[in-house]
Amino acid sequence: MAKRLQTLGVILALFGLGFFAASGYTFLQTSAGADSLQAFSEAQNVTLSYNEDGQLIDRGTTEGAAAITALLEDKWGYPVKASELDPNDPLVNTGSEYMYQMATIGFHVLHGTQTIVLDEPVEYDGETFEAGTYEVVVNEIGSADRVDAGLGGYWTDFDRSHPLEGPARAGAWSGTAHGLFGELGVGAVTANMLTVGYGIAGILAGLGAFALIAGLGLMWAVKGDEDVVVTRPTREPVSVG
C-alpha cells in the first residue's frame, strides 16, 4: 500500500510541475500581449482628460464626463472599473478607458445635429419636404419607444431613403466614427482578454501548487512505511483427545 501511495505522490508532483510550466507559459504570452497593447496605445497617444482633483472631464466639465459614463454603464451595460481610470496614467490602455473613449465618441454623435439642405422639394411616403435648410437632431431619430428610452439616433434607426434621415445618417455615423468604434472595440476586448489571461495563469499556478504540495506531502507521509513488515502471531496447534 505504501508503495502505491508513494507512486501516486510522484504522479501528483509531476502534475504540479506541469501546471507550473503551463502557468509560466500563459503568463509570458499574456505579458507579451500586454506589452504590445501598451506600445500600440502609446503610438496612438489617445488620453483622457482629468481636472486638478483627478475627476474625469469632457469638454472642461465633470457633468459631461458623468453623462458619458452613464451612457456607458446604463445604456451599454459595461461594468466600468474605477481602478482602470487613473488620472496619473491618462493614456487609453485599459478596457474601461477604451470603452469610455468609445462612449465619448458615441455620446457626441448621438447628441449632435446634422444640417441638411434640400435644393428642391422632395416628396417621400406621402409627405412633401420643401426646399430649404433643416436641422436634424440625431437622437430624435427612430421609433418613439427607442427615442423615449434614450436609444434613438443609432445607425439602424435611420431610414436611408428618407430625404433628411438618409443624409443625416451618413453625416453623423461617418466612416471615421465607425472606424474609431471598431478600433476602440478591439482595444477594449484585447485589454479584457489580457486580464483573463493573467487570471488563467494564476489559476494554473494555484493548481500546480496544490498538486505539488499534495504529491510531496503524500510521499513524505508514507516515507519509511515501505520497509515495515507486518507479522501475524502464530497459533500453537491444539491437540484434541
Q: What does the pLDDT read at residue 55?
A: 95
Evaluate whether residue 213 is within a structural domain: yes
User: If you average pLDDT over every residue of the chain, what do you get?
Assistant: 91
Provide the pLDDT for residue 5.
81
| 26: in domain | yes
Report the pLDDT value the prediction gives residue 7, as an integer from 0 to 100. 85
Residue 31 CA to residue 68 CA, distance in Å, equals 31
Q: At 167, which helix (H) or strand (E)?
A: helix 165-172
Residue 206 pLDDT: 94
Report pLDDT digits (tens) over 108-118: 999 999 999 99
What are the DSSP E strand ranges found in the chain? Answer: 113-118, 122-124, 127-129, 132-137
Query: Into how many domains does the chain fold?
Result: 1
Per the structure, the complete domain to which residue 32 belongs is given by 2-217
> Which DSSP category does 73 fall into?
I
pLDDT at residue 226 is higher than 60: no
Has residue 225 been placed in a domain?
no
Give pLDDT tens digits for 37-93.
999 899 989 999 999 999 999 999 999 999 999 999 999 999 999 999 999 999 999
Q: 234 in a domain, yes or no?
A: no
pLDDT tens readout for residues 128-175: 999 999 999 999 999 999 999 999 999 999 999 999 999 999 999 999
Query: Is 237 inside a domain boundary?
Result: no
Mean pLDDT to the nearest integer, 98-123? 96
Any idea which of 145-149, 202-206, 215-219 has the lowest mean pLDDT?
A: 215-219
Q: Rounded to whole angstroms, how far apart are CA atoms 172 and 71?
A: 18
Whether residue 116 lies inside any domain: the answer is: yes
Domain membership flag for residue 223: no
For residue 106, tell me if it sits in a domain: yes
